[in-house]
A and B are shown apart, each in its own frame.
Chain A
Amino acid sequence: MKKTHGGTSPEDLSVLARRGLLSEAEESELERALQADPELQVAHRVGLDMDLCTAVRAGDEALVSKAADAAMMRVAASGLASPHAARAPRAGRRFASVLLVAALVCATGAAAAMWAGLVPARFLGRAASGSGATGAVVPPQINVPPTASAALGAQPKDPEPVADSLREMAPVVVHPSPVVAGAAHASAESTAAALFTSANAARRGGNFSNAEKLYSQLIARYPSSDEARLARLSLGKLLLAQGDSTDAERQFGQYLKGEHGELAEEALVSRAQSLRNLGRANAERVTWQRLLAEHPNSVYAAEARGRIDALRRVVNAPGP
């Protein structure tokens, strides 16, 4: 691993490029290094892919908050919450063993309570729902007794609710189910999903008219499905790209009418852009303001503020 003329290793140049912190000279150096080093080239490419895939999404804040609450409840339920217990790693193996037993007792007790219906599964957060990774947590080697953390991670699994099982099985149901209503619902979901996938494929393939048709079909046939809601957003973006801002704005508006979807942020931005195209300055300003109010940490916040300022300047500008 040779260092570049500037003293920064090529790997670090790649990292700094991902953070947007390279000078022009460093950019050239990175370019040369990428040409010369196929391993670096692959690593850089994958790093960029990762940056795209791990970007912050709407709804992350709620997800993190929920996980933090659930984690704290797990810690509290395990008996490790007090400062002394939290310092268990220093107290030696014997104490860790005691903690393990205590945590297991706690976990099995909680499981029994859930089976008996005394404690709702949601009390222990999603990890106890039986749908997630509830195996042992093995934190870093640093001062964490694997036994204690494993005991914490070994959350009891509650019995899978019948409705959830049906929902999960829905896409692969082939034989008639005795639960007729459930099966019908499953079939509709499956078809809505298939339509949505086909529409996306058509859009990506550049067949926009077919994509529009499929999205519209999906919305008409399964108006209350999750896919239909997302289809409104995709259709709106298609229409916006084709210059049909009126219909696009209508689709974004429909998307935003329901309960807050995880793409509400994107829908608001697209709606504001549609309104801008339509010259509806007031409505555009209100939409940007709503974006800032509902998603203050949005990546579009700067754009929103810029547009609000610009619109204000237009309003305040002296007439000709």
Chain B
Amino acid sequence: MLRLLTPKGPTPDPAGGGAQRIADQEPSLSGPLAQIVTLSRDGNPEAQRTLLVTVGPAMLRVIRGVLGAAHPDVEDTLQDSMVALYLALPGFRGECTPLHFACRIAVQTAMNARRRAGYRTRHTPSSAPEELADLARDDRSPAEIVSAARRREGLRQLVSELPEAQAEVLALHAVLGYTIEETAAVTAAPLNTVRSRLRNALSKLRVRLHSDAALRETVKDEA
């Protein structure tokens, strides 16, 4: 059972009441987050914070996947995604789980951030702390690390270049590991449409990665 978390510092208008209302209110959605979502939509700040903190780790995972773990915008994009989730919540009808809904918002926000980063020139410190940490903890061989990084970057570039619908399906599948059915539920698209978008995106991913000679070799080696 989820426990409401008290927001720190200034909070939005607590017009929606306190934690006591959880027991009193009939959820319109189902699932473990249903009550939290209902209270959040009613403007309960404790529920809103609880929701953000609960779905936050999954959103962070998505954002890292789309932007790159050491990307300087990860934290800001997470914050943007949370604001977007807050704004989108009133329109959430329970077509998918709240977690999937939040992840979809994170995917789209991260894709937008990445597209913006494409034309924004900015200075990045040569050794970001996260990067240093990655170096310290990564125990794979240098060749494996380089190949994996190239593959991931290939995917990220493609996500920022593909038509949005395809990019979203690719990100949900490759980054989040969603099945076709889950992706269809999250995007509210027919199964066959999702299949077709995914197939198109994967085909382009293969072409992209195979245009890199070194990666082509690693894929062959693993076959």
Within 8 A of B (CB), among A259-276: 262-263, 266
Q: Is the CB of A227 within 8 A of B152?
A: no
A135 / chain B contacts, CB cutoff of 8 Å: 112-113, 116, 120
Asked whether B79 lies within 8 Å of A125 as measured between CB atoms, the reply is: yes
With contacts A86-B87, A149-B84 known, is A263 near B133, CB below 8 A?
yes
Q: Please report the C-alpha to C-alpha distance between residue A45 and residue B147 in the assembled complex, in whole angstroms.
A: 10
Instruction: Judge if B27 is at the interface, Cβ distance under 8 Å.
Output: no
B73 and A72 within 8 A (CB): no
Query: Residue-by-residue, is B85-98 near A (CB-CB < 8 Å gives 1, otherwise 0)?
Result: 11111111000000
Does A196 belong to the interface (CB within 8 Å)? yes
Given A39-B206, A67-B79, A137-B84: A72 in contact with B148 (beta carbons within 8 A):
no
How many residues of A are counted as interface, with CB atoms below 8 angstroms from the partner's CB atoms? Answer: 96
B52 partner, pick from A39, A40, A47, A72, beta carbons under 8 A: A72
Does A298 count as interface, using CB distance less than 8 angstroms?
no
Contact across chains for A53 and B64 when beta carbons are under 8 A apart? yes
Q: Which of B126, B195, B199 contacts A172 (CB 8 A)?
A: B126
Give 1 or 0 for each of A39-65: 1 = CB within 8 Å of chain B CB: 111110111011111101100110111
Q: Are A140 and B11 in contact (CB under 8 A)?
A: no
- B36 interfacial contact with A, CB 8 Å: no
With A74-B83, A171-B126 in contact, is A51–B177 under 8 Å at CB? Answer: yes
Chain B, range 9-46, C-beta contacts under 8 Å to A:
9-13, 15-16, 41-43, 45
Cα distance, A254 to B43, chains bound together (Å):
47
- Given A35-B223, A127-B79, A234-B136, decide whether A65 and B179 contact each other with a Cβ distance below 8 A: no
Q: Mark A15-55, 1 if CB is under 8 A from B, else 0.
A: 11011000000000000001100111111011101111110
| Chain B contacts with A in 126-170, Cβ cutoff 8 A | 126-127, 129-130, 132-133, 135-137, 141-142, 145, 148, 151-152, 154-155
Is A87 in the interface zone, CB < 8 Å from B? yes
Residue numbers in A under 8 Å from B78 (CB-CB): 63-64, 67
Answer whether A227 and B127 are a contact pair too, CB < 8 Å, given A1-B199, A45-B151, A81-B43.
yes
The winner among B81, B87, B108 for most chain A CB atoms within 10 A is B87
Most B C-beta atoms less than 10 A away, residue of A47, A68, A148, A201: A68
Contact A43 B205 (CB under 8 A): yes
- The verdict on A69 contacting chain B, using a C-beta distance below 8 Å, is yes
| Contact pick for B56, options A54, A68, A231, CB 8 Å | A68
Q: Which of A49, A127, A263 contacts B151 (CB 8 A)?
A: A49
Chain B proximity mask over A100-123: 1 for CB below 8 Å, otherwise 0? 000000000000000000000000
Q: Is the CB of A42 within 8 A of B137?
A: no
B137 touches A71 (CB 8 A): no
Enumerate chain B residues within 8 angstroms of A137, measured Cβ to Cβ: 80-81, 83-84, 109, 112
B residues within 8 A CB of A72?
Answer: 7, 11-12, 45, 48-49, 52, 86
Q: Contact residues of B with A, CB < 8 Å? A: 7-13, 15-16, 41-43, 45, 48-49, 52-53, 56-57, 60-62, 64-65, 68-69, 72-73, 75-92, 104-105, 108-109, 112-113, 116-117, 120, 123, 125-127, 129-130, 132-133, 135-137, 141-142, 145, 148, 151-152, 154-155, 173-175, 177-181, 195, 198-199, 202-203, 205-206, 209-210, 219, 222-223
12 cross-chain CB contacts under 8 A: A38-B219, A38-B223, A42-B219, A50-B175, A67-B52, A72-B52, A72-B86, A75-B12, A132-B73, A132-B75, A133-B80, A137-B112
Chain A positions near chain B (C-beta within 8 angstroms): 1, 9, 11-12, 15-16, 18-19, 34-35, 38-43, 45-47, 49-54, 56-57, 60-61, 63-76, 80-83, 86-90, 125-127, 131-140, 142-145, 148-149, 152-153, 167-172, 190, 193, 196-197, 200-201, 204-205, 226-227, 230-231, 233-234, 262-263, 266
